[in-house]
Each structure stands twice: as structure tokens, then as C-alpha cells.
Amino acid sequence: MKLDAKIPDYPIQDIWDKHKFELKLVNPANKRKYNIIVVGTGLAGASAAASLAELGYNIKNFCIQDSPRRAHSIAAQGGINAAKNYPNDGDSIWRLFYDTVKGGDYRSREANVYRLAQVSNNIIDQCVAQGVPFAREYGGLLANRSFGGAQVSRTFYARGQTGQQLLLGAYSSLMRQVKLGKVKIFARREMLELVLVDGKARGIVVRNLIDGKIERYEADAVVLATGGYGNVYYLSTNAKNSNVTASWRCHKKGAAFANPCFTQIHPTCIPVSGDYQSKLTLMSESLRNDGRVWVPKKKGDTRRPSEIPEDERDYYLERKYPSFGNLVPRDVASRNAKYVCDEGRGVGETGLAVYLDFADAIKRLGRKAIEDKYGNLFEMYERITGDNPYETPMRIYPAVHYTMGGLWVDYNLMSTIPGLFVLGEANFSDHGANRLGASALMQGLADGYFIIPYTIGNYLTSEELPKIDTEHAAFSQAEAEVDERVKKLLSIDGKKTVTEIHRELGKIMWDYVGMSRTKEGLEKALEEIPKLRDEFWQNVKIPADANNLNKNLEFAGRVADFLELAELMARDALNREESCGGHFREEHQTAEGEAKRNDKDFSYVAAWEYTGDGKTPKLHKEPLEFKYVKLTQRSYK
Amino acid sequence: MDRISLTLKVWRQKGPSEPGRLVSYELKDISTHMSFLEMLDVLNEQLIHKGEEPVEFDNDCREGICGMCSLVINGLPHGPQKSTATCQLHMRKFRDGETITIEPFRAKGFPVIKDLVVDRSAFDRIIQAGGYVSMNTGGAPDANNIPIAKEIADEAMDAAACIGCGACVAACPNASASLFTAAKISQLALLPQGHPERKRRARAMVAQMDAEGFGDCSNHAECEAVCPKNISILHIARMKREYLRTIFTA
């Protein structure tokens, strides 16, 4: 395997424009001769499928939910960044580029990030033209707000439902192409294998989730937009159906997996309330603008928060980081919450929570002002916890939120398998070791609307792609692999449910491959994960059969893949002997306890090649060069 | 932490053409902090351990935005709490010893697939009929070239907040999809981007709604009462106006 990012050698401002000119075009009359499979209908998948169909390609678009509109992009709250500089506060493409590279703690590619910043403005234009109801000022122009990691207001938003509105915009374009006959939607289908012919991605094998039938689909190229893998931790802010299976099956067919250990833990989520917990809900990070984070000074203090006097409270973020206080970046806030809970000073029934207190803000600004700012969030909090945050402090705790790692792609978004393109959260390319708020939506739509439509044409015209059909031996073999796996899962008939094993995996990952990692912990994870995987394959119990809607069978296949991915994540985290962004190794910190990068030895993308079941994966390094952004150490004291 | 015991009566149906029936299950020691779907998870774990088939129900984001969860709980789509999708309903809204009846959304346009899972693809087809602005990627003018009054943008956003869950259909005595269809027509009728196609859109989407077997609106307003996103029936009035416009204006 050879990693070639294929970044043209031009000044960074010119790379994308010159590259677009150099990419070969497909004659309009020929576009309709090409079939393209798009897996996933989130921001990246839906925007790609619609845009490619508009160009004339024939698209088959797959999703696991009952409708393309359900994809988890819909849950994004805060907003989408763009370098419009509408507020006249000094923003520019250059500044968005700079902030994103810095925010990613210098572990992303400069050229990719620059391109992302360049197309960010087109995304806003596109979405407004579709009828996305962004927030507006009284004069009728678009409103902006500020968001973490930036000193300018560049975030566009639609209340707290920006992801929903952007996704419905892309979905509407997609539905238009369905009506025009250029896209065919395959809902309630799960991709279970990638089909390679002559080493190129030429199709997929899916399970029809309603009747259990295995189906084959061919194409000239396959576009994967299947999201992130946060559910490897069992509990995360991801949707229940979010999974790594499509990516992982591609990895096992030859696609390198890059930086799997880069995961983002969001500091302000509603804490776990019991063993039955099925998912975690994010509370917008904007709450930290007015809320003060604290825990009791005393260990095991079970008094109600109102009974704990001021001088027995520890406002630990304000104490440790006097200049940034409660507004330190996500990773710093998360880690410190963990430390105080590890010390036994956590609050609530589980002791795994800290207070986010609005009492001072209400006293200072009045209840009305707080209600105007955060009313809907306070309501949501009360709906879930039964507590009223106007009267008692919120309890919050960090939760897994986003995965920066993913399948390795070159500048054209093509993986190490020719003809397999990977978009959105499923790829690794733009966020480095930490993603800034409001940048996920930007990247998903950039990839789908404005990058893949150009780069895929170049591939299609440059390659020999003889006609094949689904009777080809490669399809039969892929289907046989799927069949065998399903049969094997159903034959085990053990004692533990899929959920029980998934929960155990989540605990291992959270304890040892979570927000604070050590060599010993990671080595422990590398012992525990294979044991749990063995147990899964000997002792899992899946009810009913394969010829029917069977969610447990679906989840079993996904957990089986998570059990393999988990090991790769631990291995990657162990290899990366530095702290950067969301990856914090306790051995590598400054005297003040802050993340310490090692640019000399680890300024590279770690791309892992699958070498066979039970074999150690092979590490390939793509060196990262920084010609335009100056590397600095972050400090928030 | 409070713990309660419950009797569940759950609709079980093996497939679209099989007869269904309510089956009773006893559940003990349910924490009132659980969400409703977590309570069903607990039931399913117990069923799996007993070697029985778990209850199938659709769900995904579990934070009230994807619209995939459904369920008619004690006769009400999404259950007893106002402005709340089933996935955000919590067990503290129920009493110890209570019997809870759980059924699928019922409508001709939403055939049952299995147990509590129904087929809502009719909604996708209604959007396909015209729930979009016909524009291709790439040709958009600068976003601020289209000024829109804040009040109009806010009202469009109220309509656009629809999550496409189908509770409006399940609550309507006519099984009408008017609130769903109106929300999209209204959003795009309010915004200038939607104006060039407003007539064609209203005609095509209403025709598709009829073709899918959904009934007409007769102003019961049950849809608004159960909508987890508080979509107002005023949008249905706007849809009717848009539709009449297609008939009476050139």
C-alpha cells in the first residue's frame, strides 16, 4: 500500500482552482452511461447523490433508516461555519483555514482545509437558494453568531436545528432527482460488503432489513458517506443506528483507516442516569457562556447543591484557567470534569457529573434574559432529567460526540481502493485531532456539493471500467461472505445479549481509550478487547431468524465490527506517543497538565492497513507539512 | 430514585398481511428516569433472555429530531406529554401499577411492517411531488442577495421544523396528511425562493397526498395537538389558499 495524497504543487490559494481545471471532464452525453452508488443520506451522502444526479449520472442511494431524511446529520444543533465576513469583523478564507488547522491541533492537511474554507461560502449560497430558513436580522439579511475556537462571528444557524434544516435542504434536492428518475432510493438497506472487480470498487452487497434478503448492486464507482464510529463507546451522542460497518468492511477489503484514535468528547452532555441508559444527549456548548462549572470541595459530599455554601464549592475551571475560565476548549473542559469525578468529588446518583450553575447569571441578568438565551435548552434538560435548571444547577458530564478519524482519502476524496470515495465524517481529512464547533456540517456539504462532483468525473474518464453485472463471481463471493456471517451469528445461541456485550465494550473503551489515556491502560484494552470479541462469537444470543425485520441481528453485525475497530483504536492511541487535540496521553503533558504535542516524531497521519484476521495491522505514515500555518502550543491559562 | 411496576399491552404483528393482537407483559422495577424507549429496551432484553422475539419499534436519534420513533401510547401518538416525541418521553409521566397500551401509528397510508414498525415512505413521495426549489448545485447567487424579513423567515422556520414523524396522520380521524404536506408547502410559499413554483407545487403535493390514501382535513386539529414540534394548523389554511390559487388564478 502506498499513500499518495495527490495534492498538486501550487501555492495554497491556487491548488483547488488549478486542480479543477486539470481534472478531466466527462462529456454530458456520457455521464448518463455511468452508474454511481452512494451509501448514506446524511449531509455528505444526500448532497453528493443529488449533485451527481443533476450532472446526469445514474445514482443508487442507500440508507438504513426508513427515509433518507432520518440520517444523523439531522441532530446537529449549533450551526455551520463560512468565511462570508458578513459581520465585517475581519473574517476571511485565510482566517477560517487558519483557525481550523490550529483547532485541529496541527494534525490535518493544509491543502484540504484551505479548500474547505474556500467552498464554505458557496455552501451558504446553495442552502439559502434551496429555501433553508436560516436566522435573519430585522433588515432581512442573514444573522451570524460566534462559536468555540474562533474570535469572529462566522456561524450561520437555524435556531438550534441547523443540521435538520441543512439536511432537509439536501434531502429536498435529492427527492427532486428521485422524481426526475436520476436517483433511486434504497431505504432500510444495510451495506454489508464492498465488491471489488480487478481491484476496483464496483458494487456493494446489502441486506434488505425488512425481508432479510441479500441484494447485489453494481456501479462504476462507490461513494461512502456513512458517518462516524462514536457508538464504539456504546454510549455517545450518536443515533442508535450509527455504526462503522460499511467503513469497516471497506477497510477489510483494502481501504486504509486513518487516525482511528482521534475522537471528540463533548463536555456538556446530560449525564448517565442508570445502567439502562441507551444514549446521551448533548446540551449546546453555548451554555458555558453563562453557566459556572463546580463540584463540592469535599469528597463524597451528598448534600443538595443549595445546601453547599459558597466557600465549600470548587469552581475548578475558573481556579485552574483564570483567563479562559469556563470557556476553555472542549477537550480541556472534558478532561477536568473527569479528574474531579475520579477524585470522588462528582455529583448526582452516579457521582459521574459536575454542576453547571446559572444562579449567578440569573441574579446578574434576570431570569427573562436567561430564558431568552437558553429557554429551549432548559426545557429539554427538564424533559429528560425532571429537574428545573432555573432553580437547581444542571448536572453535566462529557460524552463521545464525533470521530475525526476515518477512512484515509487523497485530495480527490478517494480511498486506497480505486473507485471507492469517502465523504463527510466517514473520512479523516479535515479536522485533524480535534474538530471545531460548526465545522462538521460545513465539511459534509463541502464534500458532497462541491468536491466529489468534480473529482469523481476524473476517475471515471481515466479508468478502464468494463461493463459488469451482478452475476459476476465477485458478487457471488461477497454475498457468500455475508451469508456465512449471518448464519454464524444466528447459530451461536449463547447467553448474553448483543446490548450486554456492546455495553461491556463501551466500558473498556471509555475507561482505557477515552478522554485520558495511558500506556498501561491502552495495553490493558488490547488484552480485554480480543477476550470480549471471543466471548461475543461464542456466547451472544440473537433471537428469531434472518428472514424478517430483526434489529438484534442488525446490531449484532455492527457490534462484531466495533469489536474489531476498538482494537485498532487502542493500537493507534498506543502508537501515538504524544498528546494532541482529543487524544490525551497522560505521559505527554506539560508541567501545567496541558496536552504536549510531539511535532518532530508524530506530525503524520497514521493510516492502518488491514493484514488479515488476528494479524497486526500495518502502519503507513503520511507526513504532514505546514508551510502556511505556524505551529504553536495551545495555552488557556 | 423511584421505581415503578407496569403492565404493558403491546401490539404484536408478524408481518403486513398477518393478523395482529395485543400481548400483555409485566415489567417490574422500572426507574422513572428511564425514557419510554429505554423501558421498551428493558422489555426486549428480558424477552431475548427468555428466548422470545423482541418487540420491533423504529427509533434512531433518541433526541426528538430524526422523526423515526412513533408509537400510539394509551391512544395518543407519542404519548401523554405535549410537544414531545416518544423518544423524549420519560417514565416519570407514568404511575406505579399503570397499564400502558402501545400500538403502531394506524393509517391506510402507513401499512404495518412488523409489530410497531410502519411504512412511512408515502411522506417521501409527497415531497418528491414538489417539496423543493428546482435549482441545481452551483448556480446560487450570494446568500444576502435575497433579503427576507425576519418575521417571514421565523414563520417559515416554524413550518420547516416538521420532523416527518407522521403523528399528525395517526391522530387524525380522517388519517389526513394535511399538516405534514402543509408544513412544506407553507415554508416554501412564505419564502421568495419558493415562489416561482408555488402553484405547481401545491397542486402536485396535494394530488400525491390523495393518491397515497390519506384523507382530507376537516378541521379537527388533532394533528396540532399531538405534533411534537407544535406545527400550527394555520399552515393547513395557507396550503388551502395556495391550492385555491392554482384553480382560480392564471
**Whole-number pLDDT of residue A150:** 77
Contact: B131, A453; criterion CB under 8 Å? no
User: Does the beta carbon of A382 lie under 8 angstroms from any beta carbon of chain B?
Assistant: no
User: Does the beta carbon of A375 lie under 8 angstroms from any beta carbon of chain B?
Assistant: no
DSSP type of residue A143: P
What are the chain A neighbours of B181 within 8 Å (beta carbons)? Answer: none
**Whole-number pLDDT of residue A248:** 98
Q: Where does a domain end: B83, B114, B145?
A: B114
Q: How far apart are CA A317 and CA A623, in angstroms?
A: 35
**Whole-number pLDDT of residue A377:** 86
Residue in B with minimal Cα distance to A541: B48
Closest approach of A70 to chain B, Cα-based (Å)? 5
Contact A19, A411 (CB under 8 A): yes
Contact: A137, B35; criterion CB under 8 Å? no
Q: Give the pLDDT confidence of A36-88 residue by residue, as tens digits.
A: 999 999 999 999 999 999 999 999 999 999 999 999 999 998 899 999 999 99
Lowest mean pLDDT among A321-325, A603-607, B49-53: A321-325
CATH number of the domain encompassing residue B133: 1.10.1060.10
Contact: B149, A140; criterion CB under 8 Å? yes
DSSP type of residue A306: G
Name the 3-class secondary structure at A60.
strand
Contact: B63, A279; criterion CB under 8 Å? yes
Q: Give the pLDDT confidence of A250-279 residue by residue, as tens digits.
A: 999 999 999 999 999 999 999 998 889 999
* Test mutation, B33, B58, B60, chain A, max A CBs within 10 A: B60
Q: Which of A330, A335, A517, A558 is catalytic?
A: A330
Given B44, B63, B146, which is nearest A75 (Cβ)? B63
What are the chain A neighbours of B119 within 8 Å (beta carbons)? Answer: 66
Residue in B with minimal Cα distance to A161: B161
Q: Give the pLDDT confidence of A385-437 residue by residue, as tens digits.
A: 999 999 999 999 999 999 999 999 999 999 999 999 999 999 998 999 999 88
User: Does the beta carbon of A158 lie under 8 angstroms from any beta carbon of chain B?
Assistant: yes
Q: Confidence band (pLDDT; 50, 70, 90) for A284? A: confident
Looking at the structure, do residues B227 and B108 belong to the same domain, yes or no?
Answer: no
Residue in A with minimal Cα distance to B155: A133
Asked if residue B106 has pLDDT above 70, the reply is yes
Looking at the structure, do residues B105 and B143 belong to the same domain, yes or no?
Answer: no
Q: Where does a domain end: B114, B141, B165?
A: B114
* Pairing assessment for the beta strands A313-314 and A292-296 based on DSSP bridges: antiparallel
Lowest mean pLDDT among A47-56, A155-164, A247-256, B164-173: A155-164
Instruction: Work out how many CB contacts closer than 8 A connect A with B.
Output: 221
Given B136, B143, B150, which is nearest A124 (Cβ)? B143
- ∠ CA B68-A73-A206, nearest 5°, is 70
Asked if residue B29 has pLDDT above 70, the reply is yes
Beta carbons within 8 Å of A131's beta carbon, 6+ residues apart: A169, A172, B132, B133, B156, B187, B188, B191, B193, B194
* A330 is known as an active-site residue: yes
Contact: A159, B132; criterion CB under 8 Å? no
Contact: A172, B114; criterion CB under 8 Å? no
Residue in A with minimal Cα distance to B84: A383
Q: What is the dihedral of CA A193, A196, A197, A203, to 10 degrees?
A: 50
Looking at the structure, do residues B106 and B130 belong to the same domain, yes or no?
Answer: no
Give the A window 353-372 contacts with B, CB below 8 Å: none
What integer is the mean pLDDT of B182-190?
98
Looking at the structure, do residues B242 and B143 belong to the same domain, yes or no?
Answer: yes
User: Does the beta carbon of A47 lie under 8 angstroms from any beta carbon of chain B?
Assistant: yes
Closest approach of A484 to chain B, Cα-based (Å)? 22
Contact: B113, A549; criterion CB under 8 Å? yes
Asked if residue B1 has pLDDT above 70, the reply is no
Asked if residue B205 has pLDDT above 90, the reply is yes
Q: Report percent pLDDT > 90 for chain A.
A: 89
Looking at the structure, do residues B125 and B110 belong to the same domain, yes or no?
Answer: no
What are the chain A neighbours of B29 within 8 Å (beta carbons)? Answer: none
Contact: A84, B143; criterion CB under 8 Å? yes
Contact: A75, B65; criterion CB under 8 Å? yes
> In 3D, which of B106, B102, B115 has the Cα closest to residue B12?
B115
What are the chain B neighbours of A176 within 8 Å (beta carbons)? Answer: 128, 132, 134
**Whole-number pLDDT of residue B250:** 66
What ipTM is given for this predicted complex? 0.98
Contact: B140, A129; criterion CB under 8 Å? yes
**Whole-number pLDDT of residue A465:** 96
Q: How far apart are CA A357 and CA B181, in angstroms?
A: 42
Reading the block at residue A187, the C-alpha cell is 431505504
Looking at the structure, do residues B147 and B91 belong to the same domain, yes or no?
Answer: no
Lowest mean pLDDT among A351-365, A583-597, B165-179: A583-597
Residue in B with minimal Cα distance to A164: B65
Given A75, A130, A277, which is nearest B61 (Cβ)? A75
Q: State the residue range of the domain holding B217.
A: 121-248
CATH number of the domain encompassing residue B26: 3.10.20.30
Task: Give residue limits of the domains in chain A.
Answer: 265-400, 474-596
- CB-based burial label for A334 (10 Å; 0-12, 13-18, 19+): buried
**Whole-number pLDDT of residue A149:** 67
Closest approach of B24 to chain A, Cα-based (Å)? 19
Residue in B with minimal Cα distance to A157: B157
Looking at the structure, do residues B129 and B243 belong to the same domain, yes or no?
Answer: yes
The DSSP string of A312-330 is GEE-HHHHH-TTTGGG--H
Given A133, A135, A282, which is nearest B160 (Cβ)? A133
What are the chain B neighbours of A278 within 8 Å (beta carbons)? Answer: 35, 37-38, 41, 62
Closest approach of A206 to chain B, Cα-based (Å)? 19
Contact: A67, B124; criterion CB under 8 Å? yes
- ∠ CA B117-B182-B71, nearest 5°, is 20
User: Does the beta carbon of A58 lie under 8 angstroms from any beta carbon of chain B?
Assistant: no
Q: Report percent pLDDT > 70 for chain B.
A: 99
Closest approach of A374 to chain B, Cα-based (Å)? 17
Q: Give the pLDDT confidence of A542-578 residue by residue, as tens digits.
A: 998 899 999 999 999 999 999 999 999 999 999 999 9
Lowest mean pLDDT among A63-67, A197-201, A362-366, A588-592: A588-592
> In 3D, which of B75, B97, B77 has the Cα closest to residue B85?
B77
Contact: A383, B88; criterion CB under 8 Å? yes
Contact: A136, B150; criterion CB under 8 Å? yes
Residue in B with minimal Cα distance to A85: B144
**Whole-number pLDDT of residue A78:** 82
Closest approach of B90 to chain A, Cα-based (Å)? 7
Looking at the structure, do residues B93 and B137 belong to the same domain, yes or no?
Answer: no
**Whole-number pLDDT of residue B199:** 95
Contact: B119, A453; criterion CB under 8 Å? no
Q: How far apart are CA A113 and CA A83, in angstroms?
A: 13
User: Does the beta carbon of A51 lie under 8 angstroms from any beta carbon of chain B?
Assistant: yes
Question: How many alpha carbons fall within 13 Å on the CB side of residue A490?
Answer: 17
Question: How many alpha carbons fall within 13 Å on the CB side of residue A15?
Answer: 21
The DSSP string of B39-107 is HHHHHHHHHHHTTPPPPP---SSSSS-S-----EETTEET-SSTT--GGG-BGGGS-TT-EEEEE----
Closest approach of A173 to chain B, Cα-based (Å)? 6
Q: Give the pLDDT confidence of A112-136 residue by residue, as tens digits.
A: 999 999 999 999 999 999 999 999 9
User: Does the beta carbon of A376 lie under 8 angstroms from any beta carbon of chain B?
Assistant: no
Rounded mean pLDDT of chain B?
97
Q: Report percent pLDDT > 90 for chain B.
A: 97
**Whole-number pLDDT of residue A399:** 96
Looking at the structure, do residues B126 and B97 belong to the same domain, yes or no?
Answer: no
**Whole-number pLDDT of residue A160:** 86
From the candidate CATH numbers 1.10.620.20, 2.102.10.10, 1.20.58.100, 3.30.830.10, the one assigned to the domain spanning A474-596 = 1.20.58.100
Looking at the structure, do residues B69 and B186 belong to the same domain, yes or no?
Answer: no
User: Does the beta carbon of A28 lie under 8 angstroms from any beta carbon of chain B?
Assistant: no
Asked if residue B210 has pLDDT above 80, the reply is yes
Q: Give the pLDDT confidence of A463-517 residue by residue, as tens digits.
A: 999 999 999 999 999 999 999 999 999 999 999 999 999 999 999 999 999 999 9
Contact: A66, B119; criterion CB under 8 Å? yes
Give the A window 566-625 contacts with B, CB below 8 Å: none
Q: Looking at the 3D structure of chain B, how many domains does it have?
A: 2
Reading the block at residue B120, the C-alpha cell is 412511512
Asked if residue B166 has pLDDT above 70, the reply is yes
User: Does the beta carbon of A75 lie under 8 angstroms from any beta carbon of chain B?
Assistant: yes
Closest approach of A228 to chain B, Cα-based (Å)? 14
Looking at the structure, do residues B153 and B53 belong to the same domain, yes or no?
Answer: no
Q: Confidence band (pLDDT; 50, 70, 90) for B247? A: confident
Fold assignment, A265-400 = Flavocytochrome C3; Chain A, domain 1 (3.90.700)
What are the chain A neighbours of B17 within 8 Å (beta carbons)? Answer: none
What are the chain A neighbours of B136 within 8 Å (beta carbons)? Answer: 51, 54
Q: Confidence band (pLDDT; 50, 70, 90) for A146? A: confident
Asked if residue B235 has pLDDT above 70, the reply is yes
Contact B77, B171 (CB under 8 A): yes
Q: How far apart are CA B69 and CA A74, in angstroms?
A: 14
Contact A333, A315 (CB under 8 A): no
Q: Where does a domain end: B114, B142, B161?
A: B114
Contact: B60, A122; criterion CB under 8 Å? no
